[in-house]
A and B are shown apart, each in its own frame.
Chain A
Amino acid sequence: MIGALRLGALGIGMLVFQALLTALLPLGFRPDVVLVFAAAMGLQRGREMQGLVFAFGIGFAMDVMSGSPQGLYALLRGTACAATRVLDRALYVSTPLSWALYCGVYWVVDWLAVGLILQFLQPAAALPWAEIARNAPGAAVLTALVASALLGLFRRIDSGSERDTDWDSFGRGGQRVRP
């Protein structure tokens, strides 16, 4: 329970942090910390369901606080969590370097997905592909750097929750540690 509250507070913190970055930085230098949080939820072991719900939840919060069609970011952040869980087993993305690379690449995939879904929902919409594409490399690289820095924070926040469960968490091999 304490772990869930801690993650909830961290999620709200990430949303506020993202809003602060939006106020301070121009488009091409704005990392997506909410995406990093959602993807990190996929690294949890033993509490995968909680991670999935939190990832969908933070996406829903983004939908509420953004002009996006309701459900768009919830779906994409939930998918980021599920994709991380699947890919972590295949690629072992939970070391700082591979995690940074993964988040940077996933940012581009997520960016494309938003554009394509929006184009599908509203074919007549004039989407700013060119403008956002120009700013994409900077944002992807910064997302990767921030992801690498935040991995330690996610692990620390989760370490308290880890004591409540008999499962290892946040990508430390996913082995059961029975008391």
Chain B
Amino acid sequence: MSELLRRFRYLLSYALLAALCIGAMASGQGPRDLGVASRLILKLTLPIERMVTLPVDEAKSWGRGLAELIQVREENAELRAQIADLRKENLRFRENLISSERFRRLHSFQASQEVQMASANVMHRDISSWFQSVIIDRGTEAGIQAGMPVVTDTGVVGVISGTASDASKVLLIIDPQSRVDAYVQRSRSRGSVRGTSIRGADFEYVPRGDDVRAGDLLLTSGMDLIYPKGLVIGEVRGVEREPHGLFHRADVVPSVDMQKLEEVFVVLESRQLPPDEAFVQSGEVLWSEAAP
């Protein structure tokens, strides 16, 4: 028996380790705190990686700055023309603002709350070509928890998918595993933004009759219970209209350039459904289980 075990030791070890991996994969992909081993790996590798990649990032950033400087002159002339247009538009918006004050009073029961945010720097980018995630330099010590949304001043970045004490993993909205419930700002059409990795994202499940056009701005609806309502996701690049079917699909350019991501903000507010027990205890149910 022991001879047999020794002979097949390698095969058995491989099978055992492979079973552990498959078990880990099957045990779910939801946001979670990183385990001790994962934290140790991050502690060991990230400082070394940062030491190596920081000079490279700095050089690339300097090069980008130089190229942008050359473009500034042309953009300056365009911007002056835009300022003139915007002044006219501004007048119109001021008029609208006065009328919206009335609606604002109606919603006064909703006490306006300052959302707390934690700023963080991107330390590591995904080394796999299939996935789109980054690791940031703030973790549970800064109050960050799995499931919290991550944004920048230009729009939505993603969601915290794993945390350690001083680092967190962010699943970007362009990752194929990512979904964001969204609506079109102009026509209020709702759908789901799904990451497509390198290409950006798709706006899906938009009913055929709904009005979606290239150039439309997509905002978070808040219905996915992760992102607050009204954050900018991106712009519709083109709409694919199928001759048959219930829905059409649009190609989306995220408002945040994920390749140039350097600093992000984590919204320190996790929006989650209350557990089922809470409904049971209060005598409420989400839907009736007993079908007639």
Contact = CB atoms under 8 A, between A and B. Distances in A.
A69 B28 CA distance: 8
Interface residues of B, number: 53
A74 B9 contact: no
Nearest to A8: B44
Interface in B108-160: 124-133, 135
B41 A60 contact: yes
Contact of B176 (A16, A34, A125): A125
Nearest to A58: B41
A71 B18 CA distance: 9
A66 B177 contact: no
Contacts of B176: 118, 122, 125-128
B70 to A, nearest CB: 22
A128 B199 contact: yes
Given A24-B56, A126-B194, A52 B17 contact: yes
B14 A71 contact: no
Given A65-B124, A118-B176, A70 B197 contact: no
A66 B21 CA distance: 15
Given A52-B13, A56-B17, A65-B45, A128 B198 contact: yes
Contacts of A124: 194
Contacts of A135: 129
Interface string A129-165: 0011001000100000000000000000000000000
B188 to A, nearest CB: 25
Contacts of A74: 17, 20-21, 24
A15 to B, nearest CB: 6
Interface of B: 9-10, 13-14, 17-18, 20-25, 27, 29, 34, 37-38, 41-42, 44-45, 48-49, 52-53, 56-57, 60, 124-133, 135, 161, 169, 171-172, 175-177, 194-199, 202
19 contacts: A15-B127, A19-B49, A20-B49, A23-B125, A64-B38, A67-B161, A67-B172, A71-B22, A73-B128, A74-B20, A75-B18, A79-B14, A82-B10, A82-B14, A122-B177, A128-B130, A128-B198, A128-B199, A132-B130
In the A-B complex, the 7 residue pairs with the smallest Cβ-Cβ separation, listed nearest first, are A67-B133, A71-B24, A67-B131, A75-B21, A71-B21, A128-B197, A125-B176
Interface of A: 12, 15-16, 18-20, 22-24, 27, 30, 34, 48-49, 52-53, 56, 59-62, 64-75, 78-79, 82, 85, 114-115, 117-118, 121-122, 124-128, 131-132, 135, 139
